Amino acid sequence: MDEQVFFRKLSSLSTSKEIFKFLSSLEVMSDIMASGALQRISEVEADDDGLKNPEEVLESDVFKALCFQFEFEASKLSNAGLLNALQALIKLRIDPESTLMASLLSESEERLATRQLAVEHQCSLAESLMELEGPGCATLEQIVNRIREEDIESWTPREMTMVYKMLRVTVMEGEQYHDLLNRMNSATLAIADQLSPNFTSIILNSLVVLQQTQAVPLVIALCKHSVKHVPYFTDDELVNVLDAFLYFGHREQSFTDALETHVPKSISSMHPETVSKVMQYCCQKTILSKPIFDAVAECFISDADRFTTSQIAECIAPFGTLNYLPPSASSLFRKLETVLHTRFSQFQPHTLLNLLHSCVLIQRYPVNFLPKIFSPYFLQHLQAQPPGLDRFVASQLTRLFLTVTLECPFYEGPKLLPKYQVKAFLTPHCSLDFHLLKRVKAGLLYLLKKRIYFASEVSTPYFYIVDIEIKLDEEGFVLPAAQCEEIHKRIALCVDGRNRFCINSHNLLGEEAIKRRHLQLLGYKVVQVPFFEIESLHTSRKMAEYLHKKIFPHTYRLGC
């Protein structure tokens, strides 16, 4: 049978029984076909826990006949047939001490010693040895050193990819390999636009595993190149590419555009891990993509049972973090509440806290679950698991407590004890833009004439820090910032730089949106001063005119 026809038929078979029946119908097979059959058997029958049907595979006469041929005719095998069979048999958990495995390993190492193995076959052998003997195998170092002697610039994209793949599992540490990697990174840059979706994904994943943070030009080239492959990546490949974007901190608008086109069309067939990784990418990059978020919401509503608890949190938390309610919000959070009721005990404490905290950012209040969250039992579990009750976790607990106090007055369950509360919220994503603050303060000084009439970075008794605070008396006079009596109204100026908004958007992040709500409920008049309204105001006078209209739209008076 023609090899192409053989492999096409082989790939359509999904059980070892079907594969053995097909092989029995053939009179002659090449060693490439025979090793390919072993690989297909390993794909359908082996997983992380071992063989699904060990007796059906290992006691099969066809399987025994294949193994017999490989054992006693090892010297006659092609390099590809020999090494593909070795990899498949390792995956099938064949005893490494058996005469079959000893024969294949001996023949492989003999060919390595006599330089009969091409680059890709050396890589295949290295991966097999890594599986069998671990990183301490002496032959591994021999293979890597042999590869260092090769003419890297002459490698094909396939060979380059296989070496990266081999290095990511064999090279843990060691400066002696940095030169090899640097040479490979430079050579790969020249062929980046020739790489297939699979090769692009493998190389990006290898750069992450090998911590190649210095390979910035290659990373950028591969990220740009990956844009055209988005519709063709498998789930695992797309996860690798997204991990690389996250690890290297790169952002490519055209890649986001490609995801916006691809994800809504393909989400019904995507693995939950891929869906959650897409949302993790959007969340960490503060990308509010309504097409993606809407599609994920619909997917969760219809298929929530497919998702693990950590995947659920990774899919839902970004809605709160980026302050977005999809059109299907009521159905989405009804579904989430049902899932929480049925699977509450399956959630890890930190995962659950992160999920519920994200809900309150967008005014979805998990009051039915808060008694459990504030219970000593849950808090002890939270403290026992890394990262414990650090300041970030305590901030989330405190914000839940403040939300239920201010926005859910009907809640009568347990409260959060003071020892678990922070004095001020930790908001790493929404830190103050001090350059913008300096310009606003200059405008206020021009407007109010004296610096005593406003204060900046003011701590409140309610855990929030106000960017700029102005106090008024009952008649509307501006009071000195240090005055503590006869204060009728407090004005909170929120000086909002770009980092308080979703990227390329005027949509406030969730932590900033809830801060405004809470300050208003606490009696502040909240005045937003966003970057996009003041970036064109280059003088203190223009800034003062702007602030006058924002803070005192009718008039203002200075107190004595």
DSSP 184-236: HHHHHHHHGGG--HHHHHHHHHHHHHTT-TT-HHHHHHHHHHHGGGGGG--HH
Helix axis angle, 272-284 to 309-321, nearest 10°: 30
Q: How far apart are CA 374 and CA 356, in angstroms?
A: 12
Residue 198 belongs to some domain of the structure = no
Q: How far apart are CA 50 and CA 374, in angstroms?
A: 43
Q: What are phi and psi of 210, to 5 degrees?
A: -85, 5
Residue 487 belongs to some domain of the structure = yes
DSSP three-state, residue 63: helix
Residue 436, both tokens? 């913008």
Residue 507 belongs to some domain of the structure = yes
Q: How far apart are CA 96 and CA 90, in angstroms?
A: 8
User: Please, what is the average pLDDT of the chain?
Assistant: 93
Q: How far apart are CA 351 and CA 115, in angstroms?
A: 52
Q: How far apart are CA 33 and CA 1, in angstroms?
A: 10
DSSP letter at 98? Answer: S
Q: In this structure, are residues 256 and 289 in contact, taking their beta carbons and an 8 Å threshold? A: yes
Question: In this predicted model, what pLDDT tens digit does every residue of 346-393 receive, in sequence order?
Answer: 999 999 999 999 999 999 999 999 999 999 999 999 999 999 999 999
Residue 334, both tokens? 């009804």
Distance spanning both ends of the chain, measured CA to CA: 100
Specify the pLDDT at position 558: 44
* Residue ranges making up the domain that contains 15: 1-116
Split into its structural domains, the chain has a count of: 2
Residue type present at position 255: F
Q: Tokens 């050579």 sit at which residue?
A: 187
The whole-model pTM stands at: 0.88
Residue type present at position 394: A
Question: In this predicted model, what pLDDT tens digit does every residue of 397-420 receive, in sequence order?
Answer: 999 999 999 999 999 999 999 999
Residue 98, both tokens? 């058996």
| Residue 163: closest CA among 174, 152, 179 | 152
Other beta carbons less than 10 A from residue 184's beta carbon: 24
Pairing of strands 465-472, 557-558: unpaired
Specify the pLDDT at position 133: 87
DSSP three-state, residue 460: coil
Specify the pLDDT at position 557: 44
Residue 457 belongs to some domain of the structure = yes
Alpha helices in 25-156 (DSSP H): 31-45, 54-58, 61-72, 79-91, 99-113, 119-133, 138-148
The ranges of the chain with pLDDT < 70 are: 171-176, 428-430, 555-560
Residue 463 belongs to some domain of the structure = yes
User: In the listed set 68, 93, 116, which residue is the last one of a domain according to the structure?
Assistant: 116
Question: Which residues 6+ apart lie within 8 Å of 460 measured at CB?
Answer: 466, 522
Specify the pLDDT at position 521: 95
User: In the listed set 116, 135, 164, which residue is the last one of a domain according to the structure?
Assistant: 116
Specify the pLDDT at position 136: 77
Residue 96 belongs to some domain of the structure = yes
H or E, element range at 336 = helix 329-343
What's the full length of the chain, in residues? 560
In terms of C-beta density within 10 A (0-12 exposed, 13-18 middle, 19 or more buried), how is residue 29 classed?
Answer: middle
Q: In this structure, are residues 391 and 352 in contact, taking their beta carbons and an 8 Å threshold? A: no
Residue 454 belongs to some domain of the structure = yes
Specify the pLDDT at position 172: 55
Specify the pLDDT at position 560: 36
Q: In this structure, are residues 55 and 102 in contact, taking their beta carbons and an 8 Å threshold? A: no
Q: How far apart are CA 502 and CA 388, in angstroms?
A: 29
CA atoms within 13 A on the CB side of 161: 18
Q: In this structure, are residues 281 and 308 in contact, taking their beta carbons and an 8 Å threshold? A: no
Q: What is the dihedral of CA 8, 13, 19, 23, to 10 degrees?
A: -30
H or E, element range at 471 = strand 465-472
Q: In this structure, are residues 177 and 216 in contact, taking their beta carbons and an 8 Å threshold? A: no
Q: How far apart are CA 114 and CA 319, in angstroms?
A: 59
H or E, element range at 51 = strand 50-51
Chain-centre distance for alpha carbon 440: 36
Q: How far apart are CA 406 and CA 219, in angstroms?
A: 47
User: In the listed set 91, 116, 141, which residue is the last one of a domain according to the structure?
Assistant: 116
Residue 162 belongs to some domain of the structure = no
Residue 251, both tokens? 């952002």
What string of DSSP letters covers 414-455? PPPPGGG--SS---GGG---HHHHHHHHHHHHHHHSSGGG-E
